[in-house]
Every structure is written in C-alpha cells, then in structure tokens.
Structure 1
Amino acid sequence: MVLHNILQWLIEEETIKFIGILDRNSLMSFWKERDILLEGKKCFDLSRLERLDSAGLAMLVYLQHSSYPRIAVAGVNQHVKMLIELYNLHDILITESTSVMS
C-alpha cells in the first residue's frame, strides 16, 4: 500500500480549512494557488489536519505575515502547539488562543 501525501482545503466564507497532510511533499498544490485562495481570507483552520511538519508550519507563518490584515490560525491541536513551542513561534504565529489574549 502506497501512502500519498494528500492535502485538501475547503473555503468557507473567510476561512480556509486544511484537510489531510500539510508537509513538504503536499504543500506545493496550495502554494501554486495561494494568491487566489488567500483573497479576503481571515483564518486558517487546522482542526482537520492529520499531520503538519516544519515546512507546512513555515508556509503558514510566511502566509500569515505576508497578508494584511494578518490571517489568524484556528483549530490548533497538541501536535501543532508542540511545533510552535519547539520552533519558538508562540510570539510570531497568531493563533486563535493567542490573538484572544493579545
């Protein structure tokens, strides 16, 4: 059985919901369409991600900081929180919980 790195996304109003795997092997499909997909978006929802690696996290940080207003990140699970802490991004990546505290 061959496992494919599949990333899908749903657009719901001002939110992009990522589904599946966001890693170095799968992010290019989103990256190629980012300009169109990001127009008018205010939130990335990660609640349906099965896996996220450092490349996927780096893409989210880049996209968040290259947009105005900044896109918030919601649906952050324990694995994503661990990556944020590991890479010391808690002051850089705006998540739903940190944006409420600010």
Structure 2
Amino acid sequence: MQELITKEMVERTVTGLSERDIREGKVITTTWKPNLRYAWDNGPALGRYLAELKNGRIIGKRCRRCNRILLPPRMFCELCWRPTDEWVYVKDTGVVNTFVISYID
C-alpha cells in the first residue's frame, strides 16, 4: 500500500521536537489567557464541508498531484501549493493520524 504521507512531506512541513530538547530547556512553555472575540467566515471549502456534514455526508477536496484527499477540504494543497482539483465524497470510517485540542475559556 502506498503511503499517503511520506517522510519527505513530513520533513518539509514539520519541525521535529524530542524529549531531549524539552529536558535541555530548548522548549519554553507558558500560560496565557488571551482576550479573544471570534468572527469566522466559513469560506467556500469549509462552508460546503459543513453543509454536507449537516446532511450526513463527508466531503473533501482532491489534490491530483499529491494523490491526497484533504479533509477538512482546502482550496489549495499545502504540500505542493497548487489548487485542489475536485470535490470527493469519502466514507464515514478511517484512521485519525493527528489531532489538536484548543481550549479557550
């Protein structure tokens, strides 16, 4: 099976961090309570994604050059910087490769 995300893709987009970096004080952590008010414009990609999701369907955008389906959809591929090509419905099963939790009080 072909890897969808190659080591080269990760090296181009990710800054590595090791436990040693943390132990040696190369990483700084801080607590900050920003005073934020959000106004969000869905835009064409996220707007359609949310509309389809509301109707029980999951849709992404395909990048033919990288052979990836971007979910949530984006109007351009962040790996090859070209516009995504087409809308693609995807199954409601899969593997979560990574995630982020942000909490704003």
- TM-score under structure 1 length normalisation: 0.22
Q: Whose radius of gyration is greater, 1 or 2? A: 2
Kindly indicate whether structure 1 or structure 2 has the higher relative contact order, using CA contacts under 8 Å at least 6 residues apart: 1
More helix, by proportion: 1
More strand, by proportion: 1
